[in-house]
């Protein structure tokens, strides 16, 4: 019997769950490459997002919440496992697989009697077996297993529980591949809409038992294959139509991006409506976030809609614009409405939070803390000693945040790493003023945290020699 099986057996025996109708359903909605400034409740002014804004007004909005990493695969690994990128298995978008000993949110909640579903983009590593989400705790999966497949909004197939389900789209022959990426020449079934239909149906069909639904969108990510290899630049951000933005004097990719943000808001509204109509509204915690900061791909420019707000940087950066993301939690009748918190939190906190709410025993060696006291407006919220990120691409980079002080280092995998950059992100949210020279004692303290947070990984080496 493998170690995980033994742990799950003991958790089942030792945990005495409360009555099913006293535990919340959990819906976690994750946008793909949406920025801190893309939504009205976070200062966005260009694209109306009334449903997400309403969700924030009826719940709690976090202003200092951080993604697990600055690109999708490692960020989603942090979310699923509760470990930061110095400890977790998947630390980049290059090849790698979760292992049996990596315990996910889904596996934890199954021990407490929850039905579990992942609908949308999985992409926790590459290349992946088609059953990978099911192998790691999800009873039901529908969507994209491969992160590269998820670039294609009109794919020839999606994956349902380990098997291909054919769609009516046809991709250009030169782009047909095993992982499903491509550019469609015949566009019939728009996958993001199919995913939302599936999520709504799942809620309707599972109203009798507690469930965990991880609804992982693949928008507003760009279809870079479409943008680069097509005479129609709007294919880089492909939507069925531009809707109310069709007549705007904007480049086609920006119309597509705006339509994607509008559609995300529409789909959040569909989820909230379904919960109300099925009588699950007061029994369901809904959270909304994004896997990293905004992209500048597929013909879209980040500045066009000021997607990172006042923050510096974007996707692939460890400055605030690459990792500070929206986080909203709504649970009518339980979470007080209209609250805003500046509590420092991150993706690693989601697993311990839902484990506590669902009376499931959590794994050891987590880097996250439960946010339950903050959600419920009760005193005694545990504070993080620090948050840590590493990213082995682009010559390597790492960062640590302790309170208001943030230390960043670039080119860490080279023979001559960059010097440390120090910012007070409370006084200087745009990270415009590097004050490392003025505070050597803080640099020394935070650099020690950087060193201590990193466990070497041969698969995703941060320093020279780690892959040997």
- Convert the pLDDT of each residue in 231-255 to its tens digit: 565 678 999 999 999 999 999 999 9
Residues 6+ apart with CB under 8 A from 16: 359
State CA 284 to chain mean position distance. Answer: 20
User: Across the strands, what pairs with 126?
Assistant: 96
Asked whether residue 197 carries a pLDDT value surpassing 70, the answer given is yes
pLDDT of residue 172: 83
Better-scored residue on pLDDT, 181 or 6:
181
pLDDT digits (tens, 9 = 90+) for 268-278: 999 999 999 99
Q: Which CATH number fits domain 387-453: 3.30.1120.10, 3.40.366.10, 3.40.1050.10, 3.30.70.1290?
A: 3.30.1120.10
Per the prediction, the chain carries an average pLDDT of 93
Q: Mean per-residue pLDDT for 419-443?
A: 98
- Residue 21 CA to residue 274 CA, distance in Å, equals 18
pTM surpassing 0.85? Answer: yes
Copy the structure tokens of residue 167.
């769609």
- Residue 128 CA to residue 146 CA, distance in Å, equals 7
Antiparallel, parallel or unpaired: β 339-341 and 60-66: parallel
Give 206's pLDDT tier (boundaries 50, 70, 90): very high
Question: Do 3-376 and 387-453 agree at the fold level?
Answer: no
- Residue 424 CA to residue 403 CA, distance in Å, equals 9
Neighbours of 14 (CB within 10 A): 9
Residues 6+ apart with CB under 8 A from 233: 227, 251, 252, 253, 299
Asked whether residue 439 carries a pLDDT value surpassing 50, the answer given is yes
pLDDT of residue 3: 44
Q: Mean per-residue pLDDT for 120-142?
A: 98
CA dihedral in degrees (208, 214, 218, 219; nearest 10)? 80
Q: Mean per-residue pLDDT for 16-30?
A: 73
In this predicted structure, which of 72-86, 164-178, 406-420, 442-456 has the lowest mean pLDDT? 164-178
Give 227's pLDDT tier (boundaries 50, 70, 90): low
pLDDT of residue 236: 85
Burial readout 85-101 (b: 16 or more C-beta within 10 A, e: otherwise): bbbbbbbbbeebbbeee
Q: Would the CA dihedral through 182, 186, 192, 195 be positive or negative?
A: negative
Q: Mean per-residue pLDDT for 173-197?
A: 87
Nearest to 120 by CA among 158, 91, 82: 158
Q: Where are the domains of the chain?
A: 3-376, 387-453
Q: Mean per-residue pLDDT for 67-93?
A: 98
Count of alpha carbons within 13 angstroms of residue 203, beta-carbon side: 29
CA dihedral in degrees (92, 95, 100, 103; nearest 10)? 20
Give 14's pLDDT tier (boundaries 50, 70, 90): very low
Q: Mean per-residue pLDDT for 377-403?
A: 96
| CATH code, 3-376 | 3.40.720.10
pLDDT digits (tens, 9 = 90+) for 322-361: 999 999 999 999 999 999 999 999 999 999 999 999 999 9
Give 434's pLDDT tier (boundaries 50, 70, 90): very high
Nearest to 431 by CA among 313, 341, 328: 313
pLDDT of residue 173: 80
pLDDT of residue 225: 75
Q: Mean per-residue pLDDT for 430-451?
A: 98
pLDDT of residue 179: 80
Asked whether residue 1 carries a pLDDT value surpassing 80, the answer given is no
Contact 367, 82 (CB under 8 A): yes
pLDDT of residue 22: 78
Asked whether residue 214 carries a pLDDT value surpassing 50, the answer given is yes
Neighbours of 375 (CB within 10 A): 24
């Amino acid at each position: 019997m493998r170690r995980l099986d033994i742990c799950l057996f003991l958790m089942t025996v030792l945990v005495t769950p409360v009555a099913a109708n006293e535990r919340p359903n959990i819906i976690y909605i994750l946008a793909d490459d949406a920025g801190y400034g893309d939504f009205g409740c976070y200062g966005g002014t260009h694209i109306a997002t009334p449903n997400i804004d309403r969700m924030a007004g009826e719940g709690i909005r976090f202003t200092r919440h951080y993604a697990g990493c600055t690109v999708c695969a490692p960020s989603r690994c942090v979310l699923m496992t509760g470990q930061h990128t110095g400890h977790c298995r998947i630390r980049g978008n290059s090849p790698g697989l979760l292992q049996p000993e990596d315990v996910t949110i889904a596996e934890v909640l199954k021990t407490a009697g929850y039905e579990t579903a992942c609908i949308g983009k999985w992409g926790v590593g590459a290349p992946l077996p088609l059953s990978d989400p099911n192998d790691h705790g999800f009873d039901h999966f529908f969507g994209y297993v491969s992160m590269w497949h998820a670039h294609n909004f009109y794919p020839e197939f999606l994956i349902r529980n380990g098997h291909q389900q054919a769609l009516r789209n046809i991709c250009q022959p030169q782009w047909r591949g095993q992982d499903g990426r491509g550019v469609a020449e015949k566009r019939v079934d728009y996958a993001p809409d199919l995913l939302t239909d599936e999520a709504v149906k799942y809620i309707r069909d599972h109203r009798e038992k507690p469930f965990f639904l991880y609804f992982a969108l693949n928008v507003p990510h760009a279809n870079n294959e479409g943008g680069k290899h097509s005479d129609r630049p709007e294919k880089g951000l492909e939507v069925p139509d531009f809707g109310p933005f069709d007549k705007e004097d904007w480049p086609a990719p920006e119309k597509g991006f705006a339509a994607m943000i509008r559609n995300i808001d529409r789909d959040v509204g569909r989820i909230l409506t379904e919960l109300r109509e099925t009588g699950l509204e007061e029994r369901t915690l809904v959270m909304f976030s994004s896997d990293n900061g905004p992209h500048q791909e597929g013909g879209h420019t980040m500045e066009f809609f000021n997607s990172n707000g006042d923050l510096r940087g974007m996707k692939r950066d460890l400055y605030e614009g690459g990792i500070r993301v929206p986080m909203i939690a709504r649970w009518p009748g339980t979470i007080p409405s209209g609250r805003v918190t500046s509590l420092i939190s991150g993706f690693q906190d989601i697993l311990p939070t839902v484990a506590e709410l669902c009376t499931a025993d959590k794994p050891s060696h987590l880097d996250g803390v439960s946010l339950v006291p903050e959600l419920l407006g009760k005193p005694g919220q545990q504070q993080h000693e620090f948050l840590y990120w590493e990213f082995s691409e682009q010559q390597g980079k790492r960062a640590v945040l302790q309170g208001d002080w943030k230390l960043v280092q670039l080119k860490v995998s080279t023979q001559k790493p960059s010097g440390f950059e120090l910012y007070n992100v409370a006084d200087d949210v745009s990270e415009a003023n590097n004050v490392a020279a003025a505070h050597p004692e803080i640099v020394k303290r935070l650099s020690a945290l950087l060193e201590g947070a990193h466990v070497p990984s041969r698969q995703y080496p941060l320093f020279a020699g780690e892959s040997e």
